Amino acid sequence: MILKVARLGNPVVRQTAREVDPREISSADFQRLLDDMVETMREYDGVGLAAPQVHVPKRVAVLEVTDHPRYPHIERIPLTFLINPVVVPVGEETEEDWEGCLSIPELRGKVPRFKAVRVSALGRQGEKLEFVARNFHARVIQHEVDHLNGMVYLDRMKDLRSLSYLLEWQRYWMDDLTVRGKAKKGKAHVEAPSKGASS
């Protein structure tokens, strides 16, 4: 089922999400929520979605990039479920790049993010996940974890002058993103989640 996306201004977007009881993960209701989040993310051409964005203040996020129309040159990210994620930067290197958000429709802005992060979480069946994400993969994870902490990408922007409406972004800035994406594609690195690894 496609869920209604909460937009900026709805209090749920600014709530700190609560941890999920691992015993809840196998329940039919929780599994249905995961399916609905994936369907909603795909319906709106998102690359990630956090539960608070669909009015559920729980520490859950889904992400996926496969032949995405808005990110044709970005590395593939397999469908991933992150429950109670903990994210720690790997090194101090950051990069500023464009982001959008289903909860802030029609806008794009440049946001600094750590280039690599270590992620510990539970997966769809409650299995332990631990992996390192880099580049765009790391950016998507940081964006979604911000949602779990009641933050949006606007809070991370150093300079609001890059903030653009989507049509203007496509007209004036998208070519720059595409060129840089092509240049990075050969260097992109995504380490797939390792099931059963210790946190």
Which positions are catalytic? Answer: 144
- From CA 49, how far away is CA 5, in angstroms rounded? 9
| Maximum pairwise Cα distance, the chain | 49
Residue position matching structure tokens 């032949």? 67
Using an 8 Å Cβ cutoff, are 116 and 177 in contact? no
Residue 23, by phi and psi: left (phi above 0), alpha (psi -120 to 50) or beta?
Answer: alpha
User: Which amino acid does the sequence have at 142?
Assistant: Q
- Pick left, alpha or beta for residue 9 (phi over 0 → left; psi -120 to 50 → alpha; otherwise beta): left
- Looking only at the bridges linking them, the beta strands covering 116-122 and 128-134 are antiparallel
Instruction: For the beta carbon of residue 140, count every other beta carbon within 10 angstroms.
Output: 24
